[in-house]
Amino acid sequence: MAKKENEDSFEDELDDLEEFEDEEFGSVYPTIDKEAKETSTEEVEEDFSEVEDEELKEELDFAYEEQEEEPTFKYLSLQILEAKGKDNYEVYIKNQSHGFLNVLVKHLLDLEGVSAAAYKKTDIDYPKIFIKLEDGYKIKEILRKGINNLQEEVLEVKEIFEKKLL
């Protein structure tokens, strides 16, 4: 059977706290002269500025190195893997956007020998293009043709655009 709490004990605790109501508590912080405050803040500010300068230099060096390592998009970085089933392939393309992948898949679908093509882009992994070929076609030849067709279309658009501007 559960015991009932004693209500008197709670009231006793409140009575104990009432004893301290009239008392004033002093500050526990030490007193510091104005001169000491000024010198200590100047020293701290100097230390922080030196640390910030060093960190900024390190960050800039790191950011500068990253900029050098970024792809120039002159070449595609591809990895071709054979998927389950005959003539099924997964092509990983590094550092490409949805726009590029969409246009490339469109050009691949227009080629003879490609029965299906689709892409998937997630933040976790590199973008993948899934390609299913008909019998007798090679994946590298299909990819070359698709990329060459895309390159030709881009050059045509560039020429038309330049003519309109001039």
User: Could you tell me the residue ranges of all domains in the chain?
Assistant: 78-165
Q: Is the pTM of this model over 0.75?
A: no
Instruction: Using the predicted structure, report yes or no on whether residue 113 has a pLDDT greater than 90.
Output: yes
Instruction: In whole angstroms, give the CA distance from residue 65 to residue 68.
Output: 5
Contact of 107 with 114, CB cutoff 8 Å? no
H-only helix segments in 29-134: 34-69, 98-110
Task: Give me the mean pLDDT over the 10-24 stretch.
Answer: 64
Q: Which of 32-36, 63-67, 94-98, 117-121 has the lowest mean pLDDT?
A: 63-67
Tokens of 85: 């089933």
The answer on pLDDT for 98 being more than 60 is yes
Please state, rounded to an integer, the average pLDDT across all residues of the chain. 76
Say whether domain 78-165 belongs to CATH 3.30.1360.10.
yes
Whole-angstrom distance, CA of residue 163 vs CA of residue 91: 36
What span, in angstroms and rounded, lies between the C-alpha atoms of 76 and 125? 16
Highest mean pLDDT among 5-9, 45-49, 65-69: 5-9
In this predicted structure, which of 18-22, 86-90, 130-134 has the lowest mean pLDDT?
Answer: 18-22
Q: Looking at residue 77, what is its pLDDT?
A: 84
pLDDT of 123: 86
Q: Coil, helix or strand for 81?
A: strand
Structure tokens at 76: 């595609």
- Nearest of 142, 93, 96 to residue 115 by alpha carbon: 142
Q: Which of 76, 141, 86 is nearest to 108 (CA)?
A: 141
**Which of 40 and 85 is assigned the larger pLDDT?**
85
Residues 86, 162: Cα–Cα separation, whole Å: 45
